[in-house]
């Protein structure tokens, strides 16, 4: 996937992808309800989610196809005194160890075909947090075509073999004022008709 690598390197070199400090909202809102331990940040970019998780005590592995993104993420981690195991690799070629992770985060990466391997990489009771762009009839930020957007319920249907703890589809504002249409999912590797659930106060729910 050298084409993807070169394309993303160019975007980061051109300043098209400004580093962000905030993680995806569901991580920030639900961090107290998520299992501790080892986390994997898929398509980490400049490390917004990985750095947040490392700052909250996780042992974090992070992977991205772009050398430029990983270099920036390393610098940001060093500035904050945080340790993250950064890997430059295409997600299609990345093989996570089965049962290794208590938390896996995927944000704005179109790759439902990689979900089986990511689910296998969850430890029993491990949680997948996934957010991605949706196709929308309304003007929204994000990919210029629907090719890299999910259809309604695509993400939900792909995760029905997990215990879905939370799923929403909505438009929400961004820092620059332009809304995005996103699907956001939290799902746990567990089974059974009667389970334990995290206590989630109302102010931690997605608005």
Q: pTM of the full predicted structure? A: 0.91
Q: State the pLDDT at residue 144.
A: 85
Distance CA 69, CA 102 (A): 24
The more confident residue out of 110 and 5 is: 110
Distance CA 165, CA 197 (A): 8
CB atoms closer than 10 angstroms to residue 150: 22
For 175-188, how does the pLDDT look when each residue is reduced to its tens digit (9 = 90+)? 777 899 999 999 99
For 132-186, how does the pLDDT look when each residue is reduced to its tens digit (9 = 90+)? 999 999 989 888 889 999 999 999 999 999 999 999 999 988 777 789 999 999 9
Q: Is the pLDDT of residue 128 over 70?
A: yes
Distance CA 139, CA 171 (A): 10
Q: Supply the range of the domain harboring residue 39.
A: 2-204
CB burial string 5-42: b at 16+ within 10 A, e below: beebbeebeeeebeeeeebbebbebbbebbbeebbbbb
CATH number, domain with residue 160: 3.40.50.150
Beta strands in 95-162 (DSSP E): 101-107, 122-133
- DSSP code for 23: -
How many domains are contained in the chain?
Answer: 1
Phi, psi for 157 (deg, rounded to 5): -60, -35
């Amino acid at each position: 996937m050298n084409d993807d690598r070169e394309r993303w390197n160019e975007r980061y070199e051109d300043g098209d992808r400004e580093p962000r400090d905030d993680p995806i909202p569901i991580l920030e809102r639900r961090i107290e309800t998520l299992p501790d331990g080892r986390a994997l940040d898929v398509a980490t970019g400049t490390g917004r989610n990985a750095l947040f998780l490392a700052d909250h005590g996780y042992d974090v592995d992070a992977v991205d196809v772009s050398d430029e993104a990983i270099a920036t993420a390393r610098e940001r981690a060093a500035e904050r005194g945080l340790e993250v195991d950064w890997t430059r690799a295409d997600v299609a070629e990345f093989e996570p160890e089965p049962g290794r992770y208590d938390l896996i985060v995927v944000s704005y990466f179109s790759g439902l075909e990689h979900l089986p391997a990511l689910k296998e990489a969850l430890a029993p009771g491990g949680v997948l947090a996934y957010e991605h762009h949706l196709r929308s009839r309304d003007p929204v930020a994000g990919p210029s075509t629907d090719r890299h957007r999910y259809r309604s319920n695509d993400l939900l249907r792909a995760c029905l073999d997990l215990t879905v703890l939370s799923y929403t589809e909505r438009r929400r504002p961004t820092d620059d004022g332009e809304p995005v249409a996103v699907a956001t999912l939290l799902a746990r590797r567990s089974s059974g008709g009667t389970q334990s659930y995290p206590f989630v106060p109302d102010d931690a729910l997605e608005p």
